[in-house]
Amino acid sequence: MVRGAAGLVSDGPLRDSGTIAEMDFPVYCAGGSAPLNLIHHHAIDLNVPIGCGGVAVYPGDVIVGDNEGVVVVPHHLADEVASDAADQELMEEFILEKIKAGAALPGTYPPNAETRAAYAAWRKKRGA
């Protein structure tokens, strides 16, 4: 969009589809990255370990979801994962600012050493 493209077409799903859908930019794709089948989901018990989407889920685990899907974070890892996730969110905010300002995608995402160094300086400047 920033570089003058009229839209995006993909035969696969996209991350951040909710944010993308809100943009004034046509996107045609196979959908969000985590489809759900409601036919097989219904409650039969509470507070017992289960398997969901091939993942073990135990009482007390932390469940985090957005428009793309859901992840299960084991309770004993929640603080560590939350810290890493907060840093990742900041990194993605920085990367999005760079892309919107016209930075080329290669090297910006995934970030190369130069982008990581610029991110560290940006984060330090923000006091994060």
Domain locations in the chain? 76-128
Residue 1: pLDDT above 80?
A: yes
pLDDT number for residue 95 = 97
Residue 11: pLDDT above 70?
A: no
| pLDDT tens digits, one per residue of 86-127 | 999 999 999 999 999 999 999 999 999 999 999 999 999 998
3-state SS assignment for residue 80:
helix
Provide the pLDDT confidence category of residue 67 given band limits of 50, 70 and 90.
low
Q: Are 37 and 53 in contact (CB under 8 A)?
A: no
Phi, psi for 34 (deg, rounded to 5): -140, 85
In whole angstroms, give the CA distance from residue 110 to residue 83. Answer: 20
Q: What is the mean pLDDT of the chain?
A: 84
Q: Are 115 and 95 in contact (CB under 8 A)?
A: yes
- Quick one: average pLDDT of 48-67? 81
Residue 70: pLDDT above 90?
A: no
Residue 8: pLDDT above 50?
A: yes
pTM, full prediction = 0.56
Would you say how long the chain is, in residues? 128
pLDDT number for residue 41 = 47
